[in-house]
Chains A and B, each alone.
Chain A
């Protein structure tokens, strides 16, 4: 994604919007098992607190909704959860419970960790705009 580019997807939940750093997961994320809500980190050590979490989609246990809520409970929630493909009911219920901005069906996003994006709602869609890419 080049500077000034804009991509919109389906808006499911809008809570916080604004600017955040990207954390990108290759493939699908399982909130139970791959996210530590107490520390606000992925199990590979990357922090997701206040970040724009981008993944292809979700997988895994129905307890996932409580893990997403736990991120909020411990004050470690990401700014937004963005999926390139379709989301699942577990993540949707978790994001409603936690009040975390969530959108899906953005298509393949060519973004990397550390890219900075703006997240906002427009015409009932959730949009991502790149504001600057560090060198």
Chain B
């Protein structure tokens, strides 16, 4: 394949996988069942990224395994929902077209596990740190945290390198997390954020993890953003045999640290859906918020969940209350700083992390307190 007998696109893709494997000390390549590419927003990859994808596609690159893509920088259907400008819209559609031509499913979501749930021990090549953490920690699948181009190269070759978290011996815990009792999903998200800051890129173990999938998702996304944690061991959740217990350093997080992330900042925008909301979350918010909202409130979700919610009448109900449900995008990949918002409240500590870095004023709000903030 490296010699180009399968075509130029395959040669380039194979070279990326092989060289990266070489650097990481891989002994071989392994087959994967699902590639998920990050770096899909035009705002992130720009003109050069678009050019590279187009080149690959024009050289005949085709995904050999089931392959999906991350969210984009605007609403998938309605360019006016988040006004990014005509030029951005046009370029973003070209990026999607290149992926489509290569046989990627235009999933435009950071939650590919809601499209097809990988099994324990299944090998994946996923970009998107929050999805990587969910696959490794909740589902027991094996994936490294891949850069955008590598996941594309894995899609085309159907392979990844056998190193890092693809190797069982490297899935060994390094820290034990001790924390107060938590209740709201956003408190778990705050915990994940603090763990990421303290543990860096280690493998933490939670003896008392959250019991609902939504809280797990929020917590793991936050620790992947603030620290780069790709695997956490959640006691009685992470499938046995997909990890080992190592020498653990004890890390304590107290109530005060968590509470500091929550405060009211008189927001111009409230954001939920990072990672993308599932149907449960949409239903719950629809129940919690009974009246018309008086502040701008966005919820982000995938096209798949959007359509399900549409069939059940939930989208209409949310929109009647003045809530904007955006599809295939989020506040992290959209050029939100250019839209003039300065103060934002969110249910996601991952969003908190990224928007803080963009210089916006951000605070967390509990799901149960949302109605207080928006109405």
Neighbour of B48 across the interface among A69, A89, A92, CB < 8 A: A69
Q: Which residues of B contact A42 (CB under 8 A)?
A: none
Measured in the bound complex, the distance between the Cα atoms of B39 and A97 in whole Å is: 15
Interface residues of A in 69-123 (CB under 8 A from B): 69-70, 72-74, 86-90, 92-94, 96-97, 104
* A89 x B52 contact (CB < 8 A): no
**Number of residues in B with C-beta < 8 Å to the partner?**
26
Binding stretch for chain A, among B144-152, B285-293, B295-303:
B144-152
**A37–B52 Cα gap in the complex (Å)?**
15
> Quick check: A93 and B147 within 8 Å, CB to CB?
yes
Q: Which chain B residues lie closer than 8 Å to A87 at the CB level? A: 23
A25 within 8 A of B: no
A57–chain B nearest beta-carbon distance, Å: 11
For A70, the chain B residues whose CB sits under 8 A away are 46-49
B52, A92: Cβ atoms closer than 8 Å: no
| Minimum CB distance partner of A62 in chain B | B147
Question: With a CB–CB cut-off of 8 A, which chain B residues contact A86?
Answer: 23
**Residues of the A chain whose Cβ atoms lie less than 8 Å from the Cβ of B44:** 63, 66
Residues of B within 8 A of A72 (CB): 48
Give Cα distance in the complex from A79 to B219, angstroms: 43
A29 contacts the other chain (CB 8 A): no
Within 8 A of B (CB), among A1-44: 12-13, 37
A65 on the B face (CB < 8 A): yes
Q: Does B67 contact A (CB under 8 A)?
A: no
- Is A65 a contact of B19 with CB atoms below 8 Å? no
What is the 8 Å Cβ interface bit string for chain B, positions 141-162, against chain A (1 contact, 0 not)? Answer: 0000111111001000000000
Residues of A within 8 A of B24 (CB): 89
| B45 is an interface residue with CB less than 8 A from chain A | yes
Q: Which residues of B contact A73 (CB under 8 A)?
A: 47-48, 51-52
Within 8 A of A (CB), among B21-64: 22-24, 38-39, 44-49, 51-52
Q: Are B19 and A12 in contact (CB under 8 A)?
A: yes
With beta carbons under 8 angstroms apart, the residue of A37, A66, A74, A93 that contacts B16 is A93
Q: Give the interface size class of chain A.
A: 20 to 34
Q: Is the CB of A65 within 8 A of B23?
A: no
> Does residue B261 face the partner (Cβ distance < 8 Å to A)?
no
Interface on chain A toward B: helix, strand, loop, or mixed SS?
helix
Q: Which residue of B lies closest to A94 (CB)?
A: B149
Q: Does B20 contact A (CB under 8 A)?
A: yes
Choose one: B23, B48, B127; the contact of A62 (CB below 8 Å): B127
Q: Does B65 contact A (CB under 8 A)?
A: no
Q: Which residues of A contact B367 (CB under 8 A)?
A: none
Kindly state whether residue B307 has any CB partner on chain A within 8 Å.
Answer: no
Closest to A61 in B: B147
Give bound CA distance, A73 to B53, whole Å.
12
Contact among A13, A74, A90 for B147, CB-based, below 8 A: A90
**B127 CB contacts on chain A under 8 angstroms:** 62
Residues of A within 8 A of B153 (CB): 93
- Asked whether A97 and B51 contact (CB < 8 A) given A70-B46, A86-B23, the answer is no
Contact with A along B1-33 (1 / 0, CB 8 A): 000000000001001100110111000000000
CA distance A96 to B49 in the complex (A): 14
Q: A89-B147, A93-B149 are in contact. Are A66 and B23 (CB under 8 A)?
A: no
Smallest distance from the beta carbon of B43 to chain A beta carbons, Å? 11
Q: How far is the CA of A12 from the CA of B145 in the complex (A)?
A: 21
A to B CB contacts below 8 Å, 30 in the list:
A12-B19, A12-B23, A37-B48, A62-B38, A62-B39, A62-B127, A62-B146, A62-B147, A66-B39, A66-B52, A66-B148, A69-B49, A69-B149, A70-B47, A70-B49, A72-B48, A73-B51, A74-B48, A87-B23, A89-B23, A89-B24, A89-B150, A93-B16, A93-B19, A93-B147, A93-B149, A93-B153, A96-B12, A96-B15, A97-B52
8 more CB-based (< 8 A) A-B contacts, given A13-B19, A65-B150, A70-B49: A12-B23, A63-B147, A66-B149, A69-B52, A88-B23, A89-B23, A92-B20, A93-B147
